[in-house]
Homo-oligomer: A and B are copies of this chain.
Amino acid sequence: MITIRPATRADDEALWQIFQSVVAAGDSFVFDEQTTREQALAYWFQPEGHAYVAENDGRLAGSYLLKPNQPGRGSHIANASFMVSPEARGLGVGRHMGEHCLAEAARQGFRAMQFNIVVSTNEAAVRLWQQLGFRIAATLPGVFRHAQLGFVDAHVMFQELGDAPKGTV
């Protein structure tokens, strides 16, 4: 049973654990091992953002950050980052969070959602975002330094949000 609620600073340690595991894989997140606990949590709890956590039977299974993709004249477009705990893979936590995030972005009045660097070799993620209504707007060559594969392509993915955005719960 997956539930989603706003993150609080009481989640700091659990979030830092998940953050480190995602960073260690080096296959999806731009942040690398240089990122400190303080930097990671400052990013996740940035004033312009809204962080949520997914719990599976009361245990933290993942988290996402919803925020404006740009300041000022670009702030009507949402951006989001997602982390899933290694122990919670295959439970649909990512899909659950993605649907929640799209609904929340629409509710907050964002006009569209944009992902800037979806790693092309992370095929499960690309497929999930496409299923939730995103299209690949661009494929940028070699922009992600993959821990195993070296420089790989990444996608800019985009979808407009309406009164009834695709993929919402």
Contact = CB atoms under 8 A, between A and B. Distances in A.
Given A114-B140, A138-B138, A158-B140, A32 B72 contact: yes
A138 B115 CA distance: 13
Of the candidates A31, A34, A71, A112, the one having the most CB atoms from chain B within 10 angstroms of its own CB is A71
B145 A74 contact: yes
A55 interface: no
Contact of A143 (B34, B114, B141, B154): B114
A144 B74 contact: yes
B111 A151 contact: yes
Interface residues of A, number: 37
B30 A73 contact: yes
B138 A72 contact: no
Contacts of A144: 73-74
A12 interface: no
A73 B112 contact: no
Nearest to A157: B138
Nearest to A154: B74
A35 interface: yes
A71 B114 contact: no
Given A26-B73, A70-B117, A73-B32, A137 B156 contact: yes
Interface of A: 26, 29-32, 34-35, 69-77, 111-112, 114, 116-117, 137-147, 151, 154, 156, 158, 160
